[in-house]
């Protein structure tokens, strides 16, 4: 059931001020109206989260894992209503949203397995050495503890996997942090259905009521009040560079500054190495256009830049990519605002003196539709104007023609931080790629070979992050199990009586963790 309520702890309430979501394919307003949460609602949700924090942090790994699994099951139990509402509010097709639901519930279950396994606690013990000379060593025991309540901003482009129960929420709850979600105003009905599923899992699993709250709303003031609330201890965000930076500023100016993990903008360079380009330029062009136009290009991993040495092989690639793009159907974008900013970005490139339009997709037939756009320019022109490297969110990409490999290296080195870089390479390209790899690794969070950057695997080794402006903190990731560490902090306990030691570092090791004792991991060969 969707009734437009805010869910604050175990209660639900309607606000006087309302907003509506719209079907981006038709522009029609969707019922019902939604509550616009106020500063008072933020304060109440944060107070409840702070009150819940000690109890939730103390939950044992098994109970917390069962809770994460209960959220996954509750989301599945919403059934097709969730998919239908998400389709209406986002314009995304059924198959994509069904896949995204699987990714969301799979992510929650993966974090449940991580919580049970216990490595995230990083339990480390340096036993006392009372007889050490010249000074004895104290008994030192370290473990990770949750940072406290986390604010999560749902993203517009993944209404399930990066929204109310997305990776930020899953990793914060896994770490033992209560979560207050500021829902994305483009999909409040989808958000409410998922929030209700989480709220029911909180009750079912006997977690403290303030473990989760959901605040719908469309004002920046709401987001600012949430990040500014002194009880919030960290923030997870996926969205625009402007929005992410605004939250970073608010967090830094608090009496107690807090970390903001914002994933913001990336153009995901693809480098076509000479041998690969010569051997399979047409196939590469087909794969590239598929990745570029998938989901109307509304992926932070969208390949918005292609870099290669000019010549016949690149000419062939450009022609084939242009033909494939010209056949691509227009696709509904997530919201009028996102569509308008795509149109603006494409117009800037199309009108740029140093940029040539290679192709546009088939013309649009309805509201808010993106028509794919492919451009080309030279390395010299690209290096002369930083605006050519700005993200155009949607299916728009620029091909940069280089004179030689040194030019390719110069272009790569000039780029802002990126989520990904892709190398299309064959065996004969290995020596050149070896030269390029350190430059790429310095700029990005993930280097891929012979694939496409869209479609991020949720896994232990994944990094979905990167230097600024890909994210506000390039030391971590928002996808994959490493994301849990954003919401943990290490605490050392020195010479504590055994009765006071937390289970993770107690002498008896009641949770059976593989701990590091005197530098050696238990169970590993000495």
Ligand X SMILES: O=CCCC(=O)C(=O)O
Q: At closest approach, how far in Å is the CB of 61 from ligand NAD?
A: 31
Task: Please tell me whether residue 224 binds ligand NAD under the rule CB under 6 A.
Answer: yes
Q: At closest approach, how far in Å is the CB of 395 from ligand NAD?
A: 13
Q: Which does 184 bind (CB under 5 to 8 A by kind): ligand X, ligand NAD, none?
A: ligand NAD
Task: Please tell me whether residue 265 binds ligand NAD under the rule CB under 6 A.
Answer: yes
Q: At closest approach, how far in Å is the CB of 208 from ligand NAD?
A: 26
Peptide bond into 120 cis (omega under 30): no
Question: Which residue, 393, 394, 388, is CA-closest to 242?
Answer: 393
Q: What is the C-alpha to C-alpha distance for residues 12 and 381, in angstroms, rounded to an integer?
A: 56
Question: Strand 444-449's sheet: what is its strand order?
Answer: 356-360, 373-378, 396-402, 305-309, 269-272, 418-424, 444-449
Give the range of 182-190, 204-212, 396-404, 483-491 binding ligand NAD by CB under 6 A: 182-190
Q: At closest approach, how far in Å is the CB of 416 from ligand NAD?
A: 13
Q: What is the C-alpha to C-alpha distance for residues 227 and 225, in angstroms, rounded to an integer?
A: 6
Q: Which does 454 bind (CB under 5 to 8 A by kind): ligand X, ligand NAD, none?
A: ligand X
Which residues of the shown chain bind ligand X in the complex (CB under 6 A)? 157-158, 299-301, 454-456, 479
Handedness of CA 463, 469, 471, 473 (dihedral sign): positive
Which DSSP string do the residues of 232-266 spell out, in sequence order? --EEEEES-HHHHHHHHHHHHHSSS---EEEE---
Q: What is the C-alpha to C-alpha distance for residues 330 and 475, in angstroms, rounded to an integer?
A: 37
Q: How far lies 155's CA from each of 18, 78, 166, 172, 264, in Å? A: 20, 21, 9, 16, 10
Buried b (16+ CB within 10 A) or exposed e, 503-512: bbbbeebebe
Q: Which does 38 bind (CB under 5 to 8 A by kind): ligand NAD, ligand X, none?
A: none
Q: At closest approach, how far in Å is the CB of 299 from ligand X?
A: 4
Q: At closest approach, how far in Å is the CB of 235 from ligand NAD?
A: 10
Backbone angles phi and psi of 240, in degrees to 5: -80, 160
Q: What is the C-alpha to C-alpha distance for residues 236 and 263, in angstroms, rounded to an integer?
A: 8
Q: At closest approach, how far in Å is the CB of 249 from ligand NAD?
A: 9
Looking at the Cβ atoms of 201 and 300, the one nearer to ligand NAD is: 300
Which secondary-structure segment (H or E) carries 54? Answer: helix 39-57
Looking at the Cβ atoms of 88 and 157, the one nearer to ligand NAD is: 157
Give the range of 43-51, 149-157, 171-179, 480-488 binding ligand NAD by CB under 6 A: 149-157
How are the residues of the chain apportioned to helix, strand and coil, as percentages rounded to the nearest 5?
45, 20, 35
Q: What is the C-alpha to C-alpha distance for residues 143 and 351, in angstroms, rounded to an integer?
A: 56
Active site residue 192: no
The residue nearest ligand X at its CB is 300
Are 112 and 102 in contact by the 8 Å Cβ rule? The answer is: no
Task: Please tell me whether residue 251 binds ligand NAD under the rule CB under 6 A.
Answer: no
Query: Nearest 10 degrees: CA dihedral of 74, 76, 79, 81?
Result: 70
Q: What is the C-alpha to C-alpha distance for residues 139 and 456, in angstroms, rounded to an integer?
A: 43
Q: Which does 243 bind (CB under 5 to 8 A by kind): ligand X, ligand NAD, none?
A: ligand NAD
| 3-state SS, residue 424 | strand
x-marked contacts with ligand NAD along 290-309 as a string, rule CB under 6 A: ----------x---------
Q: Which does 213 bind (CB under 5 to 8 A by kind): ligand NAD, ligand X, none?
A: none
Catalytic residue among 69, 192, 218, 263: 263
Looking at the Cβ atoms of 227 and 284, the one nearer to ligand NAD is: 227
Of the residues 260, 264, 359, 505, which one makes contact with ligand NAD according to CB under 6 A = 264
Task: Please tell me whether residue 184 binds ligand NAD under the rule CB under 6 A.
Answer: yes
Catalytic residue among 300, 391, 402, 416: 300
| 3-state SS, residue 321 | helix
Active site residue 263: yes
Q: If you search the block for the tokens 């894992």, which residue do you land on?
A: 65
Q: At closest approach, how far in Å is the CB of 68 from ligand X?
A: 20
Task: Please tell me whether residue 350 binds ligand NAD under the rule CB under 6 A.
Answer: no
Q: Which does 223 bind (CB under 5 to 8 A by kind): ligand X, ligand NAD, none?
A: ligand NAD
Task: Please tell me whether residue 393 binds ligand NAD under the rule CB under 6 A.
Answer: yes
Active-site residue set: 263, 300
Interacting residue ranges for ligand NAD, rule: CB under 6 A:
153, 155-157, 182, 184-185, 220, 223-224, 238-240, 243, 246-247, 263-265, 300, 338, 341, 393
């Amino acid at each position: 059931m969707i009734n437009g309520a805010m869910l604050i702890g175990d209660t639900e309430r309607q606000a006087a001020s309302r907003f509506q979501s719209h079907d981006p394919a038709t522009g029609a307003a969707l019922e019902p109206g939604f509550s616009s949460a106020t500063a008072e609602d933020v304060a109440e949700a944060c107070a409840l989260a702070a009150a819940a924090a000690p109890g939730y942090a103390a939950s044992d790994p098994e109970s917390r894992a069962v809770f994460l699994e209960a959220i996954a099951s509750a989301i599945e139990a919403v059934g097709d209503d969730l998919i239908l509402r998400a389709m209406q509010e986002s314009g995304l097709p059924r198959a994509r949203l069904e896949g995204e639901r699987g990714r969301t519930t799979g992510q929650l279950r993966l974090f449940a397995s991580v919580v049970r396994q216990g490595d995230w606690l990083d339990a480390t013990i340096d036993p006392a050495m009372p007889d050490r000379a010249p000074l004895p060593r104290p008994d030192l025991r370290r473990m990770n503890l949750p940072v406290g309540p986390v604010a999560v901003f749902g993203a517009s482009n993944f209404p399930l996997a990066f929204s109310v129960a997305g990776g930020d929420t899953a990793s914060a709850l896994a770490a033992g942090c209560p979560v207050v979600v500021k829902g994305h105003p483009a999909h409040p009905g989808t958000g409410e259905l998922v929030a209700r599923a989480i709220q029911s899992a909180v009750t079912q699993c006997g977690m403290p009521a303030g473990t989760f709250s959901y605040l719908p709303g469309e004002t920046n003031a709401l987001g600012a009040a949430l990040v500014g609330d002194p009880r919030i201890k960290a923030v997870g965000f996926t969205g625009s560079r402007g929005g992410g930076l605004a939250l970073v500023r608010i967090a830094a100016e608090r009496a107690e500054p807090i970390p903001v993990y914002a994933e913001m903008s990336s153009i995901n360079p693809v480098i076509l190495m000479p041998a690969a380009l010569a051997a399979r330029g047409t196939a590469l062009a087909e794969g590239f256009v598929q990745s570029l136009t998938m989901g109307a290009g509304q992926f932070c991993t969208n390949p918005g830049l292609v870099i290669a040495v000019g010549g016949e092989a690149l000419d062939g690639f450009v022609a084939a990519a242009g033909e494939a793009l010209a056949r691509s159907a227009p696709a509904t974008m997530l919201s009028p605002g996102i569509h308008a900013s795509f149109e603006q970005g494409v117009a800037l490139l199309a009108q740029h003196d140093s940029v040539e339009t290679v192709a546009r997709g088939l013309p649009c037939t309805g509201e808010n539709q993106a028509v794919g756009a492919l451009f080309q320019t030279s390395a010299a022109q690209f290096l002369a104007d930083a605006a050519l490297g700005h993200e155009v969110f949607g299916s728009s990409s620029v091909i940069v023609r280089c004179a030689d490999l040194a030019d390719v290296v110069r272009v790569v080195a000039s780029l802002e931080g990126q989520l990904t870089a892709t190398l299309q390479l064959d065996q004969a390209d290995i020596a050149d790629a070896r030269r390029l790899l350190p430059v790429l690794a310095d700029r990005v969070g993930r280097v891929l070979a012979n694939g496409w950057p869209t479609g991020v695997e949720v896994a232990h080794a994944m990094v979905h992050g990167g230097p600024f402006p890909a994210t506000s903190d390039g030391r971590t990731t928002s996808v994959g199990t490493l994301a849990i560490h954003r919401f943990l902090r290490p605490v050392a306990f020195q010479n504590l009586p055994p009765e006071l030691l937390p289970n993770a570092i107690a002498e008896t090791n009641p949770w059976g963790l593989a701990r590091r004792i005197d530098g050696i991991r238990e169970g590993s060969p000495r």
